[in-house]
Amino acid sequence: MTTDQIILFSLFGAVFALLLWGRFRYDLVAFAALMVGVVTGVVKVDDAFAGFGHPATIVVALVLVVSAGLMRSGAVLLITRTLVDSARGLGSHIALMGGVGAVLSAFMNNVAALALLMPVDIQTARKAGRSPALSLMPLSFATILGGMATLIGTPPNIIIASIREEALGEPYKMFDFAPVGGLTAIAGLVFVALIGWRLIPSREDAGKSVSDLGQYLAELTVPPESKLIGQRLGELQTQADEADVALLGLIRDGKRRYGSSRNARLHAGDTLILEATPDALDEFRASLSLNFSDEKREEHLKAAGEGLDMIEVVVPETARIAGKTAQALGLAWRQGSVLMGISREGRRITEHIRRTVVKPGDILLLLVPKDRGPDVTDWLGCLPLADRGLVVTDNTKVWLAIGLFTAAVLAASVGLLYLPIALGLVVIAYVLTKIVPISELYDHIEWPVVVLLGSMIPLGAALEDAGGTALIANSLIGLTEGLPGWAVLTVLMLVTMTLSDVLNNTATTIVAAPVGIQMAHTLGVSPDPFLMAVAVAASSAFLTPIGHKNNTLILGPGGYHFGDYWRMGLPLEILVVAVSVPSILLFWPL
């Protein structure tokens, strides 16, 4: 290997290792790698920021804004409110919601589609009296599958289209992915609706209703002159049992008391550590006249407003609060809100709630000023576990939003307009017609993804220029020497799937797509089947909650464990390979 290849492989190895570790956010990791690449000379200075103006990066940003416009106009809720019925059987509900989610994901960002449908699904589970765990994972998988069918459905397809344009002079069109991606998505949806949901482990702690969804670790404070002062903590067990609250411990003078805390006599200002559902927590607090953990903020809120609301929100990877504490973020003084509890599946939280670092997938219990729940939720960048009707700004613009988007898709599909231009015109129209307020325009762009793409694209190009992708391709060809074409495609898909299950699918695509092209050139065949194989495989992250953002989003609300995903995800990935490889050879022959 050359010096440049060694440096680049080392950089990519470091990036993958840091992404797996998860200590630093993926955009920081990618940007740091880009800077190191420039300093070491493997990335030219003139090319350092070319990725930020790359068509793939622009399209991803525009798709996010267009998705927000479709949601804000009420276009998506119009569909879900019309079709969803809590009286429908679970299998039929999963088939319908999965179908809706897949169709939406084909024409809008699949993370945005899940973000909108997840509260609808949870609310339906509440009405039907069943655990959301039975339907949330199928919904997540369905939205991932649906994104495979079109150019704008998922970032890997956008990236691959751009890479094809650079390599072959022409990008893929809007529906070029449909023959393979569409058939694969349909097969996956049938599996998820008929068999897949039955493989989700059933456990007692999942409960049978959404009210049992989150056991929050929470804190309540003993106020001055409370009747509880002088009593032992253990003496509160009767009231705790009646309210279905678990007493876990005591904090005094900022220190957690272990062991003998149940025999400790309560003092004014002591903080009780509890585990309970929101309803149980509120009942226990009211029955014993306890304060919220931030009693000063509580008094300020009551004095300044017309009351308080308690809301539940789920934390996506890109939330403002992800990776931070409520105290560091300034939740109390910036938004006049208090973090009451955190529900985190499988982990015990031992620090103060306000000092606990919030993780993606956590469910937060928040105390907010009356009627300000949606504003606080949006500011945090979280998703509410309730009906999202509040995001509809003007129902009279539903058909305008749909019409503008449809016109852009058609114009791009027939080659009348270049896709980024078509989407850019939609964004301008949405702003001018106030479907998306200009003050919120940039709030809907997922900037960490933009930075990730802008940073990884120059690194991927440098790896290709240095012969790194050719080296990988030759290794894979050597591994599959003598095997038929379908076997070579299968190996490429399996390698790409494995990477995508543990890494960001965007980073996986940037590395795997040039390898696929190089393999095709070495074998003297068309690169299209190899690119299609990478496209499907990069989007097939079903084994872990970290492989795709949609899987991370449902981790907390569904009460899933890390090991739950592979039970339905492994047979689904096998099915994806079994369906997509013949489809690729049929529609994109070697």
pLDDT of 111 strictly over 80: no
In this predicted structure, what is the pLDDT of residue 585?
93
Q: Which of 182, 171, 151, 155 is nearest to 408 (CA)?
A: 151
Q: Which of 205, 136, 128, 565 is nearest to 385 (CA)?
A: 136
In this predicted structure, what is the pLDDT of residue 294?
57
Least confident of 205-219, 433-447, 570-584: 205-219
User: Residue 374 CB: number of other CB atoms within 10 A?
Assistant: 16
In this predicted structure, what is the pLDDT of residue 581?
94
Instruction: Summarize pLDDT for 159-187 with one digit per residue, the tens.
Output: 899 889 888 888 898 889 999 999 999 99
In this predicted structure, what is the pLDDT of residue 372?
81
Among 62-76, 181-195, 317-331, which range has the highest average pLDDT? 181-195
Instruction: Report d(CA 122, CA 131) in Å as an integer.
Output: 9
User: How big is the CA angle at 321 (ends 299 and 55), to the nearest 5 degrees?
Assistant: 145
Instruction: Summarize pLDDT for 391-415 with one digit per residue, the tens.
Output: 333 456 788 888 898 898 888 877 7
Instruction: Report d(CA 343, CA 349) in Å as an integer.
Output: 9
Mean pLDDT to the nearest integer, 255-272: 75
Among 11-15, 261-265, 353-357, which range has the highest average pLDDT? 11-15
| pLDDT top residue among 503 and 38 | 38
Mean pLDDT to the nearest integer, 236-253: 79
| 3-class state of residue 313 by DSSP | strand
R_g (Cα) of the chain, nearest Å: 25
Instruction: Report d(CA 113, CA 117) in Å as an integer.
Output: 6
488, 523 in Cβ contact below 8 A?
yes
Among 45-54, 126-135, 288-297, 326-335, which range has the highest average pLDDT? 45-54
Q: Which of 176, 183, 168 is nearest to 151 (CA)?
A: 176
| 3-class state of residue 317 by DSSP | coil
Half-sphere exposure of 341 (CA within 13 A, CB side): 25
459, 34 in Cβ contact below 8 A?
yes
Domains in the chain with CATH codes: 3-204+407-468+548-587 (no CATH), 214-293 (3.30.70.1450), 298-384 (3.30.70.1450)
Instruction: Report d(CA 135, CA 94) in Å as an integer.
Output: 6
Instruction: Summarize pLDDT for 426-477 with one digit per residue, the tens.
Output: 999 999 988 888 877 887 787 887 887 788 888 878 887 888 777 877 788 8
224, 268 in Cβ contact below 8 A?
yes
Mean pLDDT of the chain: 81
User: Residue 203 CB: number of other CB atoms within 10 A?
Assistant: 12
230, 268 in Cβ contact below 8 A?
no
Mean pLDDT to the nearest integer, 296-318: 62
In this prediction, what percent of the chain has a pLDDT beyond 70?
Answer: 85
554, 546 in Cβ contact below 8 A?
no
